[in-house]
Structure 1
Amino acid sequence: MLERATTQLIRTNAVILTVLLILAVVSFPTLAASPWFGGDWESSLRGVKTDGDWEWDPRTELTLQASLRDSNVRFFADVSGWIEQRGEDWYSDADVNRLYVRMFLPKVDLTLGKQQINWGTGRAWSPSDIFNPPDALNPDRQRNGVTAALLTISHGPLAYTSMVLAEDPKSDDLAMGMRYHGYTDGIDWSVFLATRKQNPILGGDLAMDLAGLGVHSELTYEPDFPYDDGGRLLWLMGSDYSWAKGKLVWMGEYLYDSTGAKDPKDYKWWRPGVLANATLGRHSLFNQLTYAYDDFNSVSVHLLSNLVDDSQALTLSHTSILDTHLQWDIQATYFLGDPGTEYGSHADIMVGTGITYKF
């Protein structure tokens, strides 16, 4: 099955990338009038402490981006290559993060290729985001795209329908979805129907502002969830608020997973590697506080909490913009909890620092 899935994925990507190349060549005479090139080069060092021992891994990564556009067509490419030391061995690889052609037609946009399709409103978790789910331990991480065809039909300034046919990296089936987004009396909202691994998923989300307090919520239900006879219900509730003219920002989110364990002894450790948006415990909490103490420097702290086993992951970070093109980041994550808990079973500490040159 793995060989068949790999072969199908390679063939699917090859066909789509060939179509993109043809479209880019055909469109190039008009697109070349407005080319853009950029990217960044990052050198970083990460340290992991486990059972009192440290392991340090240096890494350097080059990302290149290019965009060609006229009034009706846009071609965008985002590729990266990296080299990294792990222990005594060196590894290198390259990846296509995004590569797509977008065609702007009257009332309709069509995007073909590897792209980001971010549904939902959540930051640490996003039950509605079945294509590009976030990483709760690092919600600021750039998410790679998925190979997909996306059709967006406009119904007005803030109302549109999205239809997606995309690869599912975790199976040999295609994922499909249809989403309607609207805006009513200050409320952004959407509803969707999707299939993943041939199982239907229904859901929706909303976001609004209540006297300066941002509120967002998501709800999804998978009736034929293969690992639970009662289906799977995910509910996210979040809010955010800012002070000092936006310099101090707080965000909090609560996630309920009906298939999460109510007791740590019922944990199924294979689940997070198999399921998107998976949590071990039934109840999880995320809090983040960010303070920009001037125009070039900011500090952030975010805390992930498993409310079932009382384990936490505490992350402290600092970002400095050294000049127009240069940025320095430093981050440390502390995993707190007893052995056998979700975050207590990670490494003791993870630290990292990196310099990024943007061009």
Structure 2
Amino acid sequence: MKKYIVLFCVIILSKNLFSQEVQKPEFSGYVNEMFSMFTENLDDSWYWQNIVHNRLTFGWQPGECWRIDAGIRNRLFSGDFLDIPGYAKRMETDNGYMDLSWNIMDEKNALLNLTCDRLYFTFEKGRWCLKLGRQRVNWGQTFVWNANDLFNSYSFFDFDYIERPGCDAFRGTYYHDETSFSEVVVSLDNSKKVTAAFLHHGTIKNFDFQVMAGIQSEDDFVIGGAMTGDIRGVNLRGELAYRQPLDNFGKSSGIIEASFGADYLFSNKIMLQGEVMYNNKESIFSLKNILKFVLNPSSANIMTAMNDWNAVAMVFYPPTDRLSLSLSGMYMSGLETCFAGFIMDYSLWNNLDFSIISQYFTTVDDTIPIDVRAWFGFARLKFSF
């Protein structure tokens, strides 16, 4: 009932707080139909799942300085994945302070989940921009491993959630000029723990840089920074963060997280992209539950799950204006595991796309007693409106 009261209050306030001339509301979204298959260790056991995924996005500017945004995703699950212990419960788990996720229908062969992952007010005037509510706070600069992303971690393997999760936060941004700004973000999670941080973004010649510091989930003090730039057509990106646990501050060694990536676009439209990551933290994942990256990607922080050196390489190529192909490979040294991925996107019509996705995981160390070989296959039809 608390969740419904929150949504009702937002609607009432949005109609009464503003007396200025309103603009026409914005509305968009898409519908996905995706069929997937999974096998572990490539044996005779095959599992399937079907997801009908509908996303609705609303935007409304009731006044010159005010704006309201909301995003809702509805997903209808069916198939063998529902037999996995705790799978249905994880779909209803909301990591934000406001519990805005519902399992509306939870039966043996079907699960209907509704999640509100965007719901925030924006006040913007002069050099100031203030946001309050469930929003996306993306401080990461690299593509795969984001040491600076304190608020909205996500999994590289979650290809079907392009919007990425949001957090319940207050965000205040001050723009010094066209290329530099400073901001403060304070967020609450479902455990009522506070994450608060400050970031400053600026530009030096051809490079953008940022520095940040804060407290994450009341557990770690974090300080770090990032840079992006271009040298002779090569785009460079890097992030670095140092974490120190607060419960043993100054008495234990800190945690270093760093990532560096580069990409280059050739004249024939082929783009090469690579990234490396180093993390000296002991891995909290094991080979037994590496598939959590795929089965529950929104809560899997890939940065903290792995340790030591890790690397990924990707190739993108559009043979035609309608067809796009990509290959990716990843080596996770802390888990002695490799990943290979393939994506084919084809535009059937202006707003209708068809995709085929393949993901394969395998261990590469024969001395490890646990042998993981897992393959996921997906076929997706997407209509945008």
TM-score by length of 1: 0.86
* Aligned pair partner of 1:258 in 238, 261, 280: 280
Single out whichever of 176-185 and 269-278 deviates more from structure 2: 269-278
Identity of aligned residues (%): 19
* Alpha-carbon shift at residue 15 of structure 1 (Å): 8.8
- Structure 1 match to 2:192: 172
* Alpha-carbon shift at residue 99 of structure 1 (Å): 1.1
Cα pair distance change 1:29/1:239, threshold 3 Å: same
* Alpha-carbon shift at residue 309 of structure 1 (Å): 5.2
**1:63 is the counterpart of 2:55:** yes
- Rounded Cα–Cα distance in structure 1 between residues aligned with 2:194 and 2:236: 33
* Alpha-carbon shift at residue 136 of structure 1 (Å): 2.3
| Superposed CA offset, 1:204-232 (max 9, x none) | 00001011111111110112276993111
Number of residue pairs matched? 344
* Alpha-carbon shift at residue 335 of structure 1 (Å): 1.0
Cα pair distance change 1:31/1:242, threshold 3 Å: farther
Cα pair distance change 1:291/1:146, threshold 3 Å: same
Q: What are the within-5 Å matches in structure 2 for residues 192-207 of structure 1?
A: 192-198=212-218, 199-207=220-228
Residue type of the partner of 1:214?
N
Report the secondary structure of 1:278's partner residue.
helix
* Alpha-carbon shift at residue 168 of structure 1 (Å): 2.9
* Aligned pair partner of 1:79 in 34, 54, 72: 72
Residue type of the partner of 1:329?
S
* Aligned pair partner of 2:119 in 99, 106, 109: 99
* Preserved CA contact (<8 Å) 1:60 1:82: yes
* Aligned pair partner of 1:161 in 166, 173, 182: 182
* Alpha-carbon shift at residue 18 of structure 1 (Å): 6.6
* Alpha-carbon shift at residue 267 of structure 1 (Å): 8.4
* Preserved CA contact (<8 Å) 1:48 1:54: yes
Superposition CA RMSD, Å: 3.1
* Alpha-carbon shift at residue 36 of structure 1 (Å): 1.2
* Preserved CA contact (<8 Å) 2:285 2:306: no
Q: What are the within-5 Å matches in structure 2 for residues 204-219 of structure 1?
A: 204-219=225-240
* Alpha-carbon shift at residue 40 of structure 1 (Å): 0.8
| Superposed CA offset, 1:268-306 (max 9, x none) | 979987866213331111111111111111001111211
Which 5+ residue runs of structure 1 have no aligned equivalent? Answer: 1-9
Cα pair distance change 1:236/1:193, threshold 3 Å: same
* Alpha-carbon shift at residue 345 of structure 1 (Å): 6.0
* Alpha-carbon shift at residue 30 of structure 1 (Å): 4.5
- Rounded Cα–Cα distance in structure 2 between residues aligned with 1:236 and 1:83: 36
* Preserved CA contact (<8 Å) 1:257 1:279: no
TM-score by length of 2: 0.80
Cα pair distance change 1:308/1:78, threshold 3 Å: closer
Single out whichever of 106-115 and 192-201 deviates more from structure 2: 192-201
